[in-house]
Amino acid sequence: MNTPLDLNNFRVKAAPPTIFYIPNFITKDEEEYLWRQVYSAPKPKWTHLSNRRLQNWGGLPHPKGMVAEDLPKWLETYCEKIAELKVFEEKVPNHVLVNEYEAGQGIMPHVDGSLYYPTVSTISLGSHTLLDFYKPLQSSESGDDTSQIHSTSLKERYMQSILLEPRSLVLVCDDMYKVYLHGIAECKSDVMTDKVANIDLCETANIGDNLQRTTRVSLTIRYVPNILKAKLVFGKKR
């Protein structure tokens, strides 16, 4: 067995707590294998959104609990590999969202919320992308309509970005999960500036580079703690 990675070597020091970035977490062969698995999923497995497509694996997270479905072997393997890093305490991730972005597509700034254990792990396939982080609205700004008039623009709330290279793993934990928003801008290329907080950990990019995006597939791997037993859903005779 391989010795587990020492995550301390992969901490993004220029970001608020806590982000770990691991370049080449998987090999090119594994990347090709995962890519093939994603694209051999049955057509109805894809959900089409305006700016991306996705596949949901493991069950639909719900405030009342998730009716868990077995993950296919090809995803389970990577959930187990990530569990070895102990970022979900002793738990093994049980939910995977596959997102596909063409060049020019993205995802609006958002927080992943409380249905998941507050750590997200993402493997990138195909293209790089830039994951942008934003400060939340001040509490005085959220709330009623009048306060929205004074709300700070997203541009002002932009904090920094993390370059996600193909085959990398990023772990977003603690305040970076719970407090800050993340999103992917809808653009076709990304210039590397000093706002790219993990540039020193990246293997393929330097400040000043302009990276052209192609199709990217991400595997967003999480742990849903609140699991419903199917029996309870359909009711049990007393």
Ligand X SMILES: O=C(O)CCC(=O)C(=O)O
Q: Does 132 bind Fe ion (CB under 5 A)?
A: no
Interacting residues with ligand X (CB under 6 A): 97, 99, 107, 112, 122, 131, 182, 218, 220
Can you tell me which of 112, 132, 165, 190 binds Fe ion, judged by CB under 5 A?
Answer: 112
Omega cis (within 30) before 119: no
Q: For residues 100-111, b (16+ Cβ closer than 10 Å) or e, as one string?
A: bbeeebbbebee
Taking the complex as a whole, the smallest distance from the CB of residue 185 to Fe ion amounts, in Å, to 14
Among residues 85 and 97, whose Cβ is nearest to ligand X? 97
Sole window of 71-79, 112-120, 124-132, 157-165 interacting with Fe ion (rule: CB under 5 A): 112-120
Taking the complex as a whole, the smallest distance from the CB of residue 55 to Fe ion amounts, in Å, to 15
Which residues are within 8 A (CB) of 215 and not within 5 positions of it... i.e. 6 or more apart?
A: 100, 101, 102, 103, 126, 127
Asked if residues 199 and 52 have their Cβ atoms less than 8 Å apart, the reply is no
Among residues 83 and 177, whose Cβ is nearest to ligand X? 177
Query: What torsion do the CA atoms of 195, 111, 219, 13 make, to the nearest 10 degrees?
Result: 40
Closest among 16, 57, 25, 62 to 173, alpha carbons compared: 16
Taking the complex as a whole, the smallest distance from the CB of residue 232 to ligand X amounts, in Å, to 27
Return the residue nearest ligand X (CB atom): 218
Among residues 161 and 220, whose Cβ is nearest to ligand X? 220
